Chain A
Amino acid sequence: MRLQLAILSLRRHASRTALAMLGVAVSAAMLLDMVMLATGMRESFSTLLGRNGFTIRVSPRGTLPFDSEATIGAAADAAAIMRRLNGVTAVSPVLGATIHVLREGAPVAAFALGIDPAVQGDYELLDGAHPTRADAIVASDALLAAAGARVGDTLDIAAGFDPQLQTYTGRRRLVVTGRARFLFLSATDRAAAIPLATAQAMGGATRADRASLFMVRTAPNVDAEPVRLAIERSLPRVTALSTAGAVAEAENRLSYFRQLAFILGAVSLIVGFLLVTTIVTVGVNERLGEIAVMRAIGVSRLHIVQQIVIEGIGLSVIGASAGLLLGLVTARYLNSILRGFPGLPDAIDFFLFQPASAFQSLGLLVVAGIAAGVYPSWRAASLPISATLREEAVG
């Protein structure tokens, strides 16, 4: 009967209850979005780095991958040394370079990655074939659109431009063998992947046998940290960064996001708590006479508290459920806006729905709703019965 009374009491002021639930829903949606924002980028970045099993990134000493134009010399030897280390199953060298697609009119500049197609982890092929031949190239949709090219076309590509001679250097004619989505670049970036040897040859002497980055894959049951340390010991000219380290570095850089999300999430929780407290308190104060009569006819204090707490739970649970839907919709919308920022990897999500975190935060809101009902109900159930009835009779 307590459940029935709680439901009927909420229905007694249907519009007020609906507005309160809407308020809780908005609060819950904001809380959910902040939780998704606080953890989303980290998880998304971690997932991105861990794709294809690469657990260690090796870059020139003192730099982060593609933080500068520095490269690692004697790349073939370095790769061979790393392949020999215990626990390493693959090494993928990458050389970054700017290329120019020459065509009638203005040339199109793009970012090219020299890769080993057999072990690369930089792109997902959408169509066609990997660039296994020396004259092959796969390109992003943005580059193909800018160059007006399709899979199967041959492109005139240069690795550089000599301003004194006003000529392009390192020119090659490369055949587009496929379309690709570059994982660490944004969807609007003009990007391409070509065989490492081709990229090194096009770059001339300054790029011969050099790599910007090595991605190292370790066996699934192997701890990456000892391997990372072994790489740094074997190759003093490099900095090796594990995925965990990279995530920690990213977290450090994104700490403002997390702090903002934490503060706004806490505010949402407090607002939800205060909202439920206010509604329950108003409802209880309107019913002091009823509560006193219930006590007089023998309804226990605990049962009165339970009934009112059920009302708080009802407001919180329905509000939080609606907030879950609202939060997912707003997160999707906000994510689409934030992902439009230039230069962000296409595979990065700002808002990532993680059921455990989401339900924990909404559970916290429901607990806040329960707590919100306890005090006003206990206070009302503890009022002196006769004095309350006398005051209600006078009122």
Chain B
Amino acid sequence: MSGGPLVIARDVHRDYALSGAAVHAVRGVSLEIARGEYVAIVGPSGCGKSTLLNLLGAIDRPTRGSVSIDDTVVSALPDRDATQFRLRHIGFVFQRFYLLPVLTARENVELPMAEARVATRDRRARARELLGYVGLAERAEHRPAELSGGEQQRVAIARALANRPTILLADEPTGELDAQTGNDVIELFDRLNHDGTTILVVTHDEKLAGAARRVVHMLDGRVVRDEPLLRRA
């Protein structure tokens, strides 16, 4: 672990073809995120913020430029290594929660730990600890269909934290939630960051963006403004 920025994106481009036409989703983005930061990326739909998040999370590769996390150039990793990197260093939260419907909340949280070969007893204890942290200890044995949207998103957050990731990446985490449950998630992110987790969220939700300590504005695939927010004490 170095003392420099945790995430460094250098002149990142991402082009892809859509119905035969070239789409320049990300155009030369450079960005640094320090350890322990809480950053929100905002901008209109189609501005490239989700694409940038995917590039930073090593589930997509830049057409040009590089992304490194914790001194690892993730944009150059072969698929197998990128998968291992995501497993051990990155926690993902998606707008649609994407829990496995056949597993209980606890089993969903255990899934990344099972993949990382954590012993059954340890991962069970960790899953219960995380579900307690997100306020769902009593709902551990429920399946996703038996949980509300807000509860499912909290389970997804617990799953993202399972392997103690270096950074938590969230794509519109409040996008499918009502105001009250969205507030619960915002508070949870705030608490996570307070406890030391580095967080990067992509959002349209002004309230969620307002909870971050820094907001990066994107437009047409470019960063147009990068501003720290005044934080409440």
Contact = CB atoms under 8 A, between A and B. Distances in A.
Interface of A: 1, 4-5, 8-9, 11-12, 289-290, 293-301, 303, 384-387, 389-390, 392-393
A298 B98 contact: no
Interface string B144-165: 0000000000000001100100
Contacts of B90: 298
A386 B60 contact: yes
A1 B101 contact: no
- Determine which residue in A1, A9, A289, A298 has the highest number of CB atoms from chain B within 10 A of its CB, and name it: A298
Contacts, number: 81
Given A1-B110, A303-B115, A386-B60, A297 B92 contact: yes
26 contacts: A1-B107, A1-B114, A4-B107, A5-B100, A5-B103, A8-B102, A8-B103, A290-B100, A293-B94, A294-B111, A297-B87, A297-B92, A297-B112, A297-B160, A298-B84, A298-B87, A298-B88, A298-B112, A298-B163, A299-B83, A299-B87, A300-B80, A300-B115, A386-B54, A386-B60, A389-B94
B112 to A, nearest CB: 5
Nearest to A10: B102
Nearest to B59: A385
Given A1-B110, A1-B114, A300-B115, A289 B87 contact: no
Contacts of B57: 296
Given A8-B102, A12-B102, A386-B54, A1 B96 contact: no
A305 to B, nearest CB: 13
Given A12-B101, A386-B59, A295 B51 contact: no
B98 A293 contact: yes
A8 to B, nearest CB: 4
A303 B98 CA distance: 18
Given A293-B94, A385-B59, A386-B54, A298 B86 contact: yes
Contacts of B224: none
Contacts of B122: none
Contacts of A389: 59, 94, 98
Interface of B: 16, 50-51, 54, 57, 59-60, 79-80, 83-88, 90-92, 94-96, 98, 100-103, 107, 110-112, 114-116, 159-160, 163
Given A299-B83, A301-B83, 13 more contacts: A5-B103, A293-B94, A296-B86, A297-B86, A297-B92, A297-B115, A298-B85, A298-B86, A384-B60, A386-B51, A389-B94, A392-B96, A393-B95
Nearest to A8: B102
B175 to A, nearest CB: 9
A290 B98 contact: yes
Contacts of B51: 386
B71 to A, nearest CB: 19
B96 A393 contact: yes
Contacts of B163: 298
Nearest to A7: B102
B101 A297 contact: no
B115 A298 contact: yes
Contacts of A294: 100, 111
A301 B79 contact: yes
Contact of A297 (B16, B50, B159): B159
A307 to B, nearest CB: 11
B59 A295 contact: yes
Given A5-B100, A8-B103, A12-B102, A385 B60 contact: yes
B102 A9 contact: yes
B155 to A, nearest CB: 13
A299 B60 contact: no
Contacts of B88: 298
Contacts of A299: 83, 87, 111-112, 115
**CB-CB nearest 6 A-B residue pairs:** A298-B87, A8-B102, A293-B98, A386-B54, A1-B114, A386-B60
